[in-house]
Structure 1
């Protein structure tokens, strides 16, 4: 039982300082510095449970998102151990849901198009509307969204292909998808 009574190590103190700083400022860069130290651990947990490199890489990004919310909800004494449990639980939930972080297919991505075009089941018309709205995105969003959804690349592959950081890729994809949805909803009334 030495593990539970172990002395406080310098990295625990540094982790706690960064964690406290993030809680006070809500600055994701601060949390990112803390998380960066443990990305290999999170990736290893993802690989162990999900048994797929790309899914483990995607899990690293998704767990960071979850982390940003959960650190405000939990008392954390040892960040590394807590993050390990969070990562393991995340992976187990993915396995239980049967999704295993599958890449979103174009049809899923366009989940809102049947609603936008209720008078027709014309896929061609929906695709043209999507293409028009894609052109309205910023170049970075456009490139990231196309690579992720249409070419079915994982975050790391999009980052490698574009030169963007993983956080930028995630942001461009999320904002791009939201902007596409807004554009398609706005244009559906025309």
Structure 2
């Protein structure tokens, strides 16, 4: 069922249908918030607040824009409010602890090193480039949806993506990723 139909049903009094939207967008929203917030507790709290705000303001939603972009905008604003309150830097890739340091086969270790290096290089990019790249290539949002989430014109989204990929490529080249085994990281991430 389309988001717009579910929203119409919720507004018509079938409030339990909102659970369908939560189920559909909960995991992607959590992944999105992990790029901005540091701990799982903050991520889950912020996601819950975003869904509550979306539910409370559902009558203000306009079908002109996709529900997903509207929800992500709410979540981003909630996350920024939380960060302003805490006044700390925004870690984009807090998942460093996901790298398993146990002995592994050489290919798996190399892949993990490449992912870690890519995360490190992405952290060197300005936040607007990182978020635009993340929303496009990890969350697969359209240009229009990214524009809504970042509150910028579509032309600026295109600029962020183009310049972000170029800056990412240059950072990787400086680290000599193009030589040898690192080529796959550059090709799979930047050439999209």
> What range describes the TM-score normalised by the shorter chain of this pair?
0.3 to 0.5
Structure with the greater alpha carbon radius of gyration: 1
User: So what's the TM-score if we normalise by structure 1?
Assistant: 0.42
